[in-house]
Structure formats: structure tokens, C-alpha cells
Amino acid sequence: MIEARRLHILRAVADHRTVTAAAAALYLTPSAVSQQLAALEQETGHRLVERSAKGVRLTPAGEILLSHTNAVLAQLERAEAELAAYSSGAAGTVTVASFATGIAQVVAPAVARLAGAAPGIRLRVQDAEGDASLPMVLDRQVDVAVAVEYRGAPPADDPRLSHVPLYAEPFDAVVPVTHRLADTAEIPLADLAKDPWIGPYPGNPCHDVVVLACENAGFQPRLEHSSDDFRAVVALASADAGVALVPRSALRGMDLTGVVVRPVDGVAPTRRVFAAVRRGAEEHPLIRPVLEALGEAAGE
């Protein structure tokens, strides 16, 4: 008989590529993870992982078991959801990880909505970028992620996750008031090819949006200054340190002295925001109202 908790460990190892990283995500010791993998191999009668200097990868037998693992764990999430519904799970805590502007845009309004519509549900919010929040959901560190589509992100049909689209927003060009294009109604990105750029660090989903937009305009941005805080990005632009692309919602309420904000000429780069939960958990009586509240907040 295969134990479900060992399947969860197998998936964590497949996701994180090393025993050490999987152990850290699961709050276990590396030796405990190795022992559970060995026990799973004994249960199945197959070698499931191969270790090398570069980390761990699944064997063909491990890949077969992983495909079933995703289905089994999703079904267990559904079972928990139905049992919770049976016992009228109307009270409890749901943990949500979201990037900062997502918190302001949809998570905080969802907190307010739930206070009236489902007072028994308490949200615990953590600030985390989209590339961090999705692994947190898979590792059961949080229940819901509010994340941004980015290159390398799990696709919408990923068997481990259920996606709920929330909203999409354009990026606007931010340039110093002294910039040669400051009086232009819309700024063509190609005209910024030779400027120094300010933007998020690699790994931040917004970094991917900026770089891809510039690549589509025919150039690689010369990123001279890096910050994941858009207030810092705008402050640097106001100091004439460079130009930037910033999500429109991040500019709300910000001090824009020293910069001008202009739409991008043509097809504007866009970030698409979604909520994600472990597949099968979307009908849990605590999680479903949270997803509904996030969707309603996004639609306002």
C-alpha cells in the first residue's frame, strides 16, 4: 500500500530538484525525506529517483508515479473539501500569499467582503512574489496564491493547481520630466532602446514582462538599476536615473513628482493576475468563499 504522504514528498522532490530544497519546503530534515523516498521505492518495487552532482531527477518509473500522484493528491483535496462541507466548515483560517499590489487590489477588499459575508473565515495574508507564492501553495505552506503569469510558471492546465483568472492590467512607461519623450502622448518602446532602464530583479514576474516587451520592440533593455519596490523604481526615474515600465495599479497613490506617466504606443505589455489553489481544494467550504471574494474584488 502506497502512503499518500510519501507521494507528497515525491512531488516536492520533483518540484524542487534537490532533497535539501524539498526538505526545507516541507519542514523536514533531508535524511527524513531520503528515508521516505526509500520507503516509497520499497512499496512500489521500483527505483524512483536518481541522484547526481546537479541534484535529483525522477526515473521513468518515478515519472509514471508522479503523474498518478497529481491525480491522487487532487482527489484527496476534494475528499477533504467534501468532509469539511459535511461538517459545515464555516469557520477557520485561510492563508493567502500575494504580491504587494495584488494585496491592495484584490486581497484587502476580499478581507473586507468576507468580514460581512463569511465572518467565520479569517484570512491570514503573506506578501510574496508570484514566483514564490505558487511553490508555497504546492508545498502546503499557504492555501491560496495570488500570482502573475510569467515565463516558466505552471500553466493553467497544470494537474497540481486550479487557476482562477482575476484581472489584467497594462504597464505604463515612466520617464523623467526632462526626458525627450515627456511631452509625447504615447511612448513607443523602441524609442527607449538606448536609455538606461530601472526594473525588478530577475525572478520577479514583472521583470519577465518588461524584458519580453522590450524584446518584442526589438531590443534588450539596459537594466542599470534594480528594485522590486515600484516606489523605488519611480523615485530613481524622478532622479533622472533611467526609464521604466510599471503596472498601472502600482502607480495609484504614488508620488509622481519628477516623472511623467504615459501609455505605451501599440500593444501595451500586460500582467495577468490569477488565484491558484491545489487542484481539488477549490470546492473546500473555507476556500471557495475566498476565491469568490477575490473574483468579486477584481471585478469592481
Cβ count near 86 (within 10 Å): 9
Query: Given this model, what pLDDT does residue 213 score?
Result: 93
Contact residues for 243 (Cβ-Cβ < 8 A; gap 6+) = 173, 174, 175, 176, 179, 192, 195, 196, 197, 198, 237
In contact, 201 and 233? CB cutoff 8 Å? no
Cα–Cα dist 77/83, whole Å: 10
Query: Given this model, what pLDDT does residue 36 score?
Result: 87
Cα–Cα dist 57/40, whole Å: 15
On the question of a common fold for 4-83 and 90-166+272-299, the answer reads no
> Vertex 239, ends 236 and 242: CA angle to 5°?
60
Query: Given this model, what pLDDT does residue 86 score?
Result: 57
* Cell numbers standing for residue 287: 476556500
CATH class, 90-166+272-299 region: alpha beta
Cα–Cα dist 81/107, whole Å: 22
Can you name the CATH fold of 4-83?
A: Arc Repressor Mutant, subunit A (1.10.10)
Cα–Cα dist 238/177, whole Å: 7
Domains of the chain, by residue range, sit at 4-83, 90-166+272-299, 168-270
What are the pLDDT tens digits along the chain (300 aa)? Answer: 778 888 888 888 888 888 888 888 888 898 888 888 888 888 888 888 888 777 888 888 888 888 888 888 888 888 877 777 656 556 788 999 999 889 999 999 999 999 988 888 889 999 998 778 999 999 999 999 999 987 778 888 899 999 999 999 999 999 999 999 999 999 999 999 999 999 999 888 889 899 999 999 999 999 999 999 999 999 999 999 999 999 998 998 899 999 999 999 988 899 899 999 999 999 888 899 999 999 999 987
Query: Given this model, what pLDDT does residue 87 score?
Result: 64
- What H or E segment, with its residue span, contains residue 124? strand 121-127
Cα–Cα dist 237/181, whole Å: 14
Homologous superfamily in CATH for domain 168-270 = Periplasmic binding protein-like II (3.40.190.10)
Contact residues for 182 (Cβ-Cβ < 8 A; gap 6+) = 175, 176, 260
